[in-house]
């Protein structure tokens, strides 16, 4: 029971409260009893939560608080020595590292284990509990996922409607019609003129 483990260790009251309010504690219990993979939990001490900006946890929705706690859980057992051979980024209970939403990278230097989320750089301070199936490590900072802080890309602007090209066929027909009408009128005028001249000449002859 991870709650009893943390209560016995002392100094994890905020993390315990979040485990209970998000019901992740029940999920952990179920996974440990129904899976052979084990679990690894990075448990921030109360001092880690105290170092957060005032009101930070209250700005997170219930869903985000659940993701935050799951971001501290690896769905497999990792011993302290295995941190040196891990491939980054690690997959957490919150999800993978697609689109840089929940990347969790581990680096080691001697016996020191460091964790980077892209927002926070934390250090494993010690082992709270380990039994070959469950490992609980104390971390000096709350692991804040990049997903909470990266601004989503703006939606593309709607495309402007294209202006339709003017219909030149009707314009051309109109011009042709006007031109034709003018030619006919000129021909009629010429005929009337010739008739008038012929009539005038016949009067004198």
Per-chain mean pLDDT for the chain? 81
- Domain extents for the chain? 2-148, 171-205
* pLDDT the model gives residue 98: 55
Read off the tokens for 38: 């084990």
Q: For 155-181, how does the pLDDT look when each residue is reduced to its tens digit (9 = 90+)? A: 455 555 555 555 555 544 444 444 445
Q: What CATH number should be reported for the domain whose range is 2-148?
A: 2.30.180.10
- Cβ of 114: how many Cβ atoms within 10 Å? 15
Q: For 67-121, how does the pLDDT look when each residue is reduced to its tens digit (9 = 90+)? A: 999 999 999 999 999 999 998 988 899 875 555 567 899 999 988 999 999 899 9
Nearest Cα residue to 135 out of 10, 33, 32: 32
pLDDT at residue 6 tops 50: yes
> Does the pTM exceed 0.85?
no
- pLDDT winner (highest mean) among 140-144, 146-150, 161-165: 140-144
């Amino acid at each position: 029971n991870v709650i009893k483990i943390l209560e016995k260790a002392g100094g994890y009251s905020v993390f315990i409260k979040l485990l209970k309010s998000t019901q992740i504690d029940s999920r952990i219990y179920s996974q440990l009893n129904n899976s052979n993979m084990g679990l690894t939990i990075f448990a921030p001490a109360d001092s880690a939560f105290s170092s957060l900006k005032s009101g930070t946890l209250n700005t997170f929705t219930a869903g985000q608080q659940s993701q935050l706690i799951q971001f501290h859980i690896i769905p497999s057992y990792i011993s302290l020595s295995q941190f040196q051979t891990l491939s980054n980024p690690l997959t957490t209970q919150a999800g993978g590292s697609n689109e840089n939403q929940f990347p969790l990278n581990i680096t080691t230097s001697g016996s020191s284990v460091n964790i980077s989320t892209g927002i926070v750089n934390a250090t494993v301070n010690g082992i709270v509990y380990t039994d070959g199936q469950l490992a609980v490590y104390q971390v000096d900072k709350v692991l804040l996922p990049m997903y909470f802080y990266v601004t989503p890309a703006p939606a593309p602007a709607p495309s402007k409607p294209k202006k339709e090209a003017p219909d030149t066929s009707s314009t051309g027909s109109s011009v042709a019609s006007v031109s034709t009408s003018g030619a006919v009128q000129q021909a009629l005028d010429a005929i009337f003129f010739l008739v008038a001249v012929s009539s005038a000449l016949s009067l004198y002859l």
